Amino acid sequence: MRVGIDGHMVGGQETGNETYIKGLVDGLAELKPELDALVFHVDGAWASARPPLTFQRLVTGSPYFRLVVDLPARSVTQRLDVLHMTYAAPVWSAAPIVLTVHDICYATNPEWFSERDLRVLNAVIPRSIRQAAHVITDSNSARQEIIGRYGVPEAKISAIPIGPGAGASPISTEEARAALLALGLSPAKPYLLAVGNLQPRKNLERLIQAFQVLVRDRGHDIDLVIVGPKRFHADLIVDAARSLSDRVHFTGYITDAQLAACYRCSTAFVFPSLYEGFGLPALESMAQGAPVACSTAGALPEVCGRAAVYFDPRSVDAMVDAVEKILGDANLRKSLVEAGLSRAREFSWRRTAELTVEIYRRAASSS
């Protein structure tokens, strides 16, 4: 079975989307199934580091050319049995399409997106879902949402959990401290960590408000580190932190190794998101041994299970109480770390790859 995988997102600071492609490819390489996987890419450095699989460079980074000309042509010339895409399918394919859709928050919460992005997403994703032989998403929460919104038959869509991107096992304290210093952060200073694109759905403005209460009203001597690239309305988040500029640190986009270090050294990881189709940072933080305070939104309870302290993401007071519960109780922190490490071991890219190959076989047999 010959499968083409669209890897164009790797190298574009696509955060979770990029982690998914890289993790799936790593899982397929580890699994070495009876599968001829061909990865279409634009990032040469990534491709050269994955010798077990075959890589082909896309003609251009242009999404129009990729979806209208390049991938349709390759589905024929490469004699593909399946073409695996993320979010957007080509306008035509000689091979059945397996489509990954991580979430549909553009449809549930359009206010989080620019008008331009909404036009593109609403035009492309519903068409791609209809066109696909099978749809993959990351959680049962996201699966039910897609079924409800687009009327997708239950047999056509599967929830396949993903693995951590920033290290599947804890890195050493020495490595972590060195990485923090390289980022301009002090390993000696306790900090709360938040990870995610700087955009409205990540709810970082409320987190900053909660942090202000913890520092100014509750007397906690702690910093806040926010990791992630700027996106839609990022200026509002940065402005919200101006009065705490000596304590709130924005790192921007960082490497997986640097991110693992940030998780490893944090006093607690706080995930205030208003919507998550999976919640990869929560899984990564557990894998690196960080205690987690987490929103109840979307798939997060499904991912974290009993390994987190939960809060209502729309309540600053609830967020403050959850974080303070962790900060003030060493025994709770220890139990959360142990529970998180155990929970994280239930997720792996090898398992993601195994389940995805099953979908490839089903899609190929349907043509």
Q: What is the structure's pLDDT at 214?
A: 98
Q: Which of 50-59, 145-154, 283-292 has the lowest mean pLDDT?
A: 50-59
The answer on pLDDT for 43 being more than 80 is: no
pLDDT tens-digit series, residues 181-203: 999 999 899 999 999 988 889 99
Q: What is the mean pLDDT of the chain?
A: 92
* Domain CATH code at residue 307: 3.40.50.2000
Q: How far apart are CA 318 and CA 84, in angstroms?
A: 41
Residues 277 and 303 in one domain: yes
> Which whole number is the average pLDDT over 35-56?
76
pLDDT tens-digit series, residues 299-329: 999 999 999 999 999 999 999 999 999 999 9
Residues 332 and 184 in one domain: yes
Q: How far apart are CA 152 and CA 159, in angstroms?
A: 13
Q: What is the structure's pLDDT at 245?
A: 80
Asked if 310 and 302 count as a contact pair (C-beta separation under 8 A), the reply is no
Q: What is the structure's pLDDT at 49?
A: 63
Please give the structure tokens belonging to residue 256: 């997986």
Boundaries of domain holding 275: 173-344
Residues 138 and 255 in one domain: no
Residue 269, in any domain of the structure: yes
| Position with higher pLDDT, 49 vs 159 | 159
Q: How far apart are CA 179 and CA 258, in angstroms?
A: 6
Q: What is the DSSP letter of 70?
A: I
The answer on pLDDT for 41 being more than 90 is: no
| Position with higher pLDDT, 13 vs 52 | 52
- What pTM was computed for the model? 0.91
**99 three-class SS:** strand
Tally the domains of the chain.
2
Residue 168, in any domain of the structure: no
